Amino acid sequence: MAADALLDQMSATDLVHADKGYDTNAVRRKIEAKGAAPNIPPKSNRVWKNCFSPYLYRNRNAIERMFGRLKDFRRIATRYDRLAQNFHAAVCIAAVICYWL
């Protein structure tokens, strides 16, 4: 599962924002085991609705917009670079260009 790999690399934090796709008991337990509080909107079919703060979740929108801007660059959206080092460099250059504009 992708969430396991991401959470294994997570540094120490107090709060974790995630999308509805990550609203599972296993992901929530793993976040809590790392010492953080999950702020994940509950799925519509969930019987027991977990604690969720829409006010704190708004900060996540800035990150989503940045990924959207990065995907405007064709090289990043289609992942032309085969090496992770080259792809990382392209993302860094695109992020600097987005910051300047």
Nearest CA to 81 out of 5, 67, 73 is that of: 73
pTM over 0.85: no
- State the average pLDDT over residues 64-93: 89
| Amino acid found at 48 | W
Distance CA 56, CA 30 (A): 20
Q: pLDDT band at residue 89, thresholds of 50, 70 and 90?
A: very high
